[in-house]
Structure 1
């Protein structure tokens, strides 16, 4: 997977503070007061207007992925009735180059066996599933995360239901420290190679491509870290448990990774 390019954004902010005062015993009749001189605004300056535009990107980057999941039924078109374990196992079977004996994530296959009833759930790489409408069709979509052994990466996936079939509309693998759902956007946080900074990548639904597309990549100073709210999740990876629906912007914690990108 190509390394992400950090977005560098320069913001120029000009502020004017207006103060008003009410009448008082001191005889102040109120009104506007100047806050001092305001820096002159500097408009954008176009550099190298004669530069020949690039005809192709510097390197390939998959801004969207879309794939119909084979072998997993959606009872009543209700994505909450789909077993997340079946969904991940379907991916393992469909991509032997990644998960086979010589694949980058080969150890994930054996670890997924621990997600079944009666096994060692502490070794199960699958994280709690979350349900929220990310595609705007009024129905909940499924967001999954699972560790990709033996690497320090985490796979993040989003699924929706179309024409009675389960469709994967986002697939991203990265070293991840957190994932947030903000409205209909999914935001991934990943460690940067400089202490006190992180990458923050935003994915949003694109009706034209029928997939979650990469929309923003930020390189942010976080200091001692930030924490958001945690959305409701189904209590386990078993579809038999009654699911809950998140309704507010949220931040499910994902197992931290030791190294950067």
Structure 2
């Protein structure tokens, strides 16, 4: 991840794994109900350090609301499907030259030339298939775009909408990605964890007041076949 982006990442806290106790009732030989045992007593939460004055402002700036007008890319007829995804990525590279120069993701910048080719010659293009869905609730499609940041194992995920005839980036994230899903007004990204058997699940949801996708969930979950994401291609194109 480029240094300019690294500071924007929220600190991930390892979530405690809770064991769900379920009471089951079975039938005995005579048809009688069998007790499942005593029910655990409910315990109310304890407030810690009540003498500490509650904070009124954040200690760190992590750019929870981070929108940006994409310069140099027009939106013909306010139709986001008419926008060239490759041109959008080129615009990002132009606006962040330090991130995509030597020592950064310079290979991404070099491989953008492959995007102008067709057929098998285009396989080196780092821009992934775009997906369109109304994430803002205004009745018009928005653009979810991904591209590889090379060298490395990083996928950049971006969301764009149209506002006042301009293309506006309303969400960005980059990480080692194991799956991306669109659900309702949300973008869900799963990433590998350094803890064996777990993965990170981050969810951005559109906030109409902030006019941005906000990080509303950041959690660690058990991974495995049961958590494998379904393909979003059928419903998002």
TM bracket (short chain): 0.7 to 0.9
Contact 2:186–2:206 under 8 Å retained in 1:
yes
Shift of 1:56: 4.8
Question: Hey, which of these two has a bigger chunk of strand by percent?
Answer: 2
Shift of 1:200: 1.0
Shift of 1:133: 1.0
Residues in 2 aligned to 1:14 and 1:137: alpha-carbon distance in whole angstroms: 43
Residue by residue, what CA displacement relative to the aligned partner does 1:182-205 show, whole Å, maximum 9, x if unpaired? 221111111111222111111011
Structure 1: any 5+ residue segments left out of the alignment?
21-26, 234-244, 248-261
Question: Hey, which of these two has a bigger chunk of helix by percent?
Answer: 2
Q: Size of the alignment, in residue pairs?
A: 228
- TM-score, length-scaled by structure 2: 0.84
Residues in 2 aligned to 1:229 and 1:52: alpha-carbon distance in whole angstroms: 45
Residues in 2 aligned to 1:178 and 1:228: alpha-carbon distance in whole angstroms: 6
In structure 1, what is the equivalent of residue 62 of structure 2? 61
Structure 2: any 5+ residue segments left out of the alignment?
1-5
In structure 2, what is the equivalent of residue 92 of structure 1? 93
Residues in 2 aligned to 1:197 and 1:11: alpha-carbon distance in whole angstroms: 14
1:42 matched to 2:43? The reply is: yes
1:132 matched to 2:139? The reply is: no
Contact 2:134–2:140 under 8 Å retained in 1:
yes
In structure 2, what is the equivalent of residue 175 of structure 1? 176
Instruction: Tell me: higher relative CO, structure 1 or 2? Use CA pairs within 8 A at least 6 residues apart.
Output: 1
Residues in 1 aligned to 2:225 and 2:217: alpha-carbon distance in whole angstroms: 23
Paired residue for 2:12, among 1, 5, 9?
Answer: 5
In structure 1, what is the equivalent of residue 3 of structure 2? none
Over 3 Å counting, the alpha-carbon distance change for 1:191 and 1:211 in structure 2 is same
224-233 vs 188-197, which deviates more?
224-233
Over 3 Å counting, the alpha-carbon distance change for 1:108 and 1:185 in structure 2 is same
Shift of 1:57: 3.6
- TM-score, length-scaled by structure 1: 0.76
